[in-house]
Structure 1
Amino acid sequence: MNLPIVAYGHPVLRKMCDDITPEYPELKKLIADMWDTMYNSNGVGVAAPQINRAIRLFVIDTVQIVESFDDQDKKDYPNEKGVKQVFINAHKIEESGEPWAYNEGCLSIPKVREDVKRAEKVRLRYVDENFQEQEAEFDGITARVILHEYDHIDGKLFIDHLPPLKKRLIKKKLEDIAGGKIRVDYKMLFAK
């Protein structure tokens, strides 16, 4: 089922999310709904707070990014493979490598894109959809998407990484989003 995406300004986007247990109600259905919501919104990741759940759960699909690489992207990211994965109760162990800028957007902050610097690599401890413990390191585009979604479960947004001047320049757009004065081609849930 395609769920509404929570818009900027909704308090759930600023909550530190809680770990869950395998007994979380209808978890398999929730994960399936998150995949549907992500694909129907043309996203590459979606975190539980974006669908109004303050839990440590997110899904990503960077395979679709790699498959759509143009020739320049293939040169810039020659080792990028992409990952389609569920992350539950993720906790960051470390970030490493040189920070690099990339133009990011967010389903909860539609029509706003800005360059954000993030680390090249991230190591996480998490459980998969079968609650099997995992620890893995990710890099490149996949690390970036993971760090973006991870921010969501820590109550942060990509705009929090912007310099003060950039934040002032997009202030009106953010106010319009929070006030529901924006049109997108997917369902949105506004705070008001």
Structure 2
Amino acid sequence: MRALLGLSRKIDAFNTVIGRWLSWLIVLAVVISAANAIIRKALDMSSNSFLELQWVLFSVVFLLCSPWTLLSNEHIRIDIINHTLPLRLRGWIDMIGHLFFLLPFTIVMLWWSIPFFLTSLHQNEQSFSAGGLPQWPAKSLIMIACVLLMVQGFSEIIKRAAMMMGIIPDSNATVISAQRAAELEAERLVMHIAGDKP
């Protein structure tokens, strides 16, 4: 299990570096979007390649940062139910979800995304818009994201198994997601305001 936990730490570190660096592409997408809007209004001209570059940058961030989101425990879940459950049960739910839903999903998506990408690459598929970007680089993102998300899923399973065996402390007990922290702060403020009223 020690070797698996070492592998898990390396996977976590890799996806953290990717997530932190690529999240800065949002700033670039905003700058390109603003510049395109200003040029369109001021000079009455627009560029399809800049418009498409915006959605490619968004796709990079959305797809390639998803493993980092999973690692950070910031993915979508039904928090009204989940945070009321005991920690051990939450760990089991996470492990079962990763094993029977996340991993099969990433495997199927990878299986279908490889020919999707290869066909686009071999045809040198271009945008339908004049002056647009090639399509195959964007289609490769699906494949890369599936691999990264699958590997992060394995890392999460390793950590959940180690927690269940008592080898490492339960990260759910000490880590509060940003969303949960905001919920707790909102509850505190409501209680403070309600307490101040006559």
- Which category describes the TM-score, using the shorter chain as reference length? under 0.3
Q: Which has the higher strand share?
A: 1
Task: Name the structure with the higher helix share.
Answer: 2
- TM-score where L is the length of structure 2: 0.24
Q: If you compute each CA radius of gyration, which structure gives the higher value, 1 or 2?
A: 2
The two structures have a TM-score, normalised by structure 1, of 0.24
